[in-house]
Structure 1
Amino acid sequence: MMNISVTVNTCELTDLDLKQMSQLGIDYIDFGKGSSFPGVKEQGYPDLDQLLKLRRRVRSFGLEMNRVTLPDLTERYMNNLPGSEKELENSATAIKVFGEAGLPIVRQRFAGDTVPVLTSGYKAVQRGGAIARGESLGLMKNKPEIPGLGERERWWSRFTEAFRTLVPVAEDYDVKLTVHPSDTPNHGTPFGGLGFHRIIDAFPSKNVGFVYCIGTRAEEGGSSLVMDEINHYGRKGKIYLVHLRNVRGSLPTAGAFEEALLDDGDLNVFNILLELRKVGYKGCINPDHITQLEGDSVDLDQSWAHSGISWKSSSIGWGYSIGYVRALLAALAEFEGIRYGH
């Protein structure tokens, strides 16, 4: 059966954080920022002893660590500048450390996977005055040029060079190596539908797959694209973690999209969970990009203004989203006649 995880961008979790997570019925924690782990700023990769200490503390609250994030591969690496070899070496070492700590899923971030920026963000006001992230193709007057084929292929060559190093390490340490789709899914971004195909064609390893972000993919093609991709990548066993959010509109259909509460967008979330169940997915459902409710306090990121990116104990929206997913999972279990819950 599927479980629930939430993303944090810090390792400095308080007892309040962990108690509230446990009370809400969260099962796992995903760590979204590679630089947050002790040791990364000092030596370039996590310290194993501190990592094990963190895992023991998380487990003492009845929770577990799920997805972690490797040190970033920055513009330095993507442009093959001095020091790029060290960045790749640090990522490879981080996989070894996470593997030794028994952590199952790592994500690698690549500079340039979300450019060019062709949309303008805006504050979307929704039901009852709730605030959500919106982006529109029509609001940006001076749009940058889309990278040409040569520039795209240069980016891809650096990506493949990194994965040629990282994939064997992930296999040796039995760690699942993932990427997240480009967010925003503008034209020219590498981790879209065709990019995902290209990755698993080039690296057909059982340890290579995706953090499948339903909201991001719906922004590119709506509900039908999401259902098709879940069916395709799910049957191949390439979905290792699911980010769940609802959206209104998409870039191809409306020239814009708005994130929405889980019950208030274009997607039928129960049908999505049912499709994940059909393809045998047994990983975590991670509700993300939380809508701001009245009186809420959320963890905002300037790259995704008006959207709560990371867990915050004072966020009403997190409580709503987790409860909604738990209810759907319980309904799915009842529908199938199986047991769900702690």
Structure 2
Amino acid sequence: MKRREFLVAGSAGLTAGANATPAAVAPDWKPTVPPVAAPIGKKGKGRPKLGTQNSSDEAYLKILSGLGVSNICATLPSRSYDANWSVESLTKLRERVEANGISLDMIPLPLSSAYITKHEYPDIMKGESPQRDKSIEDICKMIRNCAKAGIPAMKYNMSILGVVRTAPSKGRGGSQLSTFKYAGAKQEPALTEAGPVPADVYWERITYFLERVVPVATEEKVRICCHPHDPGMPKGKGWRGVETVLGSVDGLKKFVSIKESPYHGLNFCQGTISEMLVNPAKEIMDVIRYFGTRNKIFNVHFRNIRGGFLDFQETCPDDGDVNMIQAARVYKEVGYSGMLMPDHVPHIEGDTRGFQAFAFAYGYIRAILQQLENEA
């Protein structure tokens, strides 16, 4: 919920700056078969679950349970390594969630999608040593404590820009849709506080992190999943001096191969990945198959868009270009049995915190899952 409110509030500020020329097409990619690894579970036997990423407050858990939400990613325990990240505290969190009939499948690491000046550990993405080594050490402690507390997965971002949007646009019923139009958008100031970050520099920082963290996650058997850069930007141009290397399918393919491990994968934001594609309705299914058959999809942000690369709106799940029922069938096809969770719902007048929009999305996903069960 808070992330959505941040997006709406911050959209106006992202429209300022110098004009830029869009690329004509998204970065090329081609699906490769056969897969290099067996799918999660038996092919065609995936059992996706209705999930969400929300508060673990007792009252809210009861509402989620009543709406049919069976699995969650809780909110961030703390922005830095403190008592909230102790094994005892994390165990209590898991037990509180389970007491309401919900499984705690995941929690976030303090590596959020915030803009670099609001980031919890900015030195990691700025590549500032030796500070980043201490920060990475903190991240590794969090992973080890999650393992001891019985929490099987963690999500994170490798973000400098945060979530970039231009001015919102109107959707059905006058709702506000989070929107991005690269053409004519102003990039101001020309550089972020991180300075110029070309692709090779960004990859060095990502690799430095993965080489130190993935072995710990593998040892502790905790799945760590990274969210793509949102949105993808023109290759070689980026945004405000930052090349969004995790903003293309090719970039994500490279990312999951850097440090091969069954515990290193993606927080597969279907909406963000659709934003990377020229024709999401046709292309997204093969992208799901590519990463799904390689066991690299650990969580799914099940959201829809209208439009495509460099020009899109975020919509309700039933109101975009992608056939979400077919997408769910493909997750099942590749053996995915993790969470399908709503994300970035439109802002509807009177629904000040997005609760009603999210409730609509929960019901929509639950209906799809029932359809899949009936088809089985």
TM-score (norm 1): 0.83
Matched, 1:91 2:136: no
Preserved CA contact (<8 Å) 1:74 1:110: no
Matched, 1:131 2:176: yes
| Match in the other structure for 2:61 | 18
Partners of 2:186 and 2:255 in 1: CA distance: 33
Match of 2:334 among 276, 279, 304: 279
Partners of 2:269 and 2:197 in 1: CA distance: 28
Give the secondary-structure state (helix, strand or coil) at the position aligned to 2:85.
Answer: coil
- How many Å apart are 1:81 and its aligned residue? 3.8
- How many Å apart are 1:220 and its aligned residue? 1.4
Partners of 1:161 and 1:34 in 2: CA distance: 25
Partners of 1:51 and 1:237 in 2: CA distance: 27
| Match in the other structure for 2:316 | 261
- Write out per-residue CA displacement over residues 257-283 of structure 1, whole angstroms, 9 at most, x where no aligned residue: 101111111111000001111111111
| Match in the other structure for 2:345 | 290
Point out which structure has higher relative CO (alpha carbons under 8 A, 6+ apart).
2
- How many Å apart are 1:32 and its aligned residue? 4.8
Q: Which amino acid aligns with 1:70?
A: L
Preserved CA contact (<8 Å) 2:317 2:324: yes
| Match in the other structure for 1:303 | none
Matched, 1:250 2:295: no
| Match in the other structure for 1:169 | 216
Give the secondary-structure state (helix, strand or coil) at the position aligned to 1:85.
Answer: helix
Partners of 1:24 and 1:172 in 2: CA distance: 36
| Match in the other structure for 1:330 | 370
- Write out per-residue CA displacement over residues 163-212 of structure 1, whole angstroms, 9 at most, x where no aligned residue: 11111111111111211111122233121311211122222211111111
Q: Which amino acid aligns with 1:174?
A: K
User: Where in structure 2 are there 5+ consecutive unaligned residues?
Assistant: 1-46, 112-119, 235-242
Partners of 1:22 and 1:150 in 2: CA distance: 44
Partners of 1:111 and 1:269 in 2: CA distance: 27
Preserved CA contact (<8 Å) 1:167 1:208: yes
Partners of 1:61 and 1:100 in 2: CA distance: 21
Percent identity of equivalent pairs: 28
Give the secondary-structure state (helix, strand or coil) at the position aligned to 1:317.
Answer: helix
Give the secondary-structure state (helix, strand or coil) at the position aligned to 1:262.
Answer: coil
Query: How many equivalent pairs are there?
Result: 308
| Match in the other structure for 1:319 | 359
- How many Å apart are 1:228 and its aligned residue? 1.4
Matched, 1:28 2:84: no
Preserved CA contact (<8 Å) 1:68 1:105: yes
Preserved CA contact (<8 Å) 2:281 2:321: yes
| Match in the other structure for 2:52 | 6
Q: Which amino acid aligns with 2:300?
A: V
Q: Which structure carries more strand by proportion? A: 1
Alignment of 1:1-342 (within 5 A): 1-8=47-54, 13-33=56-76, 35=78, 40=80, 42=82, 46-72=85-111, 74-78=121-125, 79-112=127-160, 114=162, 120-142=165-187, 144=190, 151-187=198-234, 188-191=243-246, 192-221=248-277, 222-251=280-309, 255-298=310-353, 315-336=355-376
- Write out per-residue CA displacement over residues 57-94 of structure 1, whole angstroms, 9 at most, x where no aligned residue: 11111011112122337331232244221100000111
Partners of 1:141 and 1:110 in 2: CA distance: 24
Partners of 1:35 and 1:273 in 2: CA distance: 33
- How many Å apart are 1:225 and its aligned residue? 2.8
Preserved CA contact (<8 Å) 1:95 1:175: yes
Task: From the superposition, tell whether residues 238 and 4 of structure 1 become closer, same or farther in structure 2 (CA, over 3 Å).
Answer: same
User: Where in structure 1 are there 5+ consecutive unaligned residues?
Assistant: 299-307, 309-314, 337-342
Preserved CA contact (<8 Å) 1:105 1:176: yes
- How many Å apart are 1:295 and its aligned residue? 1.9
Partners of 2:121 and 2:184 in 1: CA distance: 29
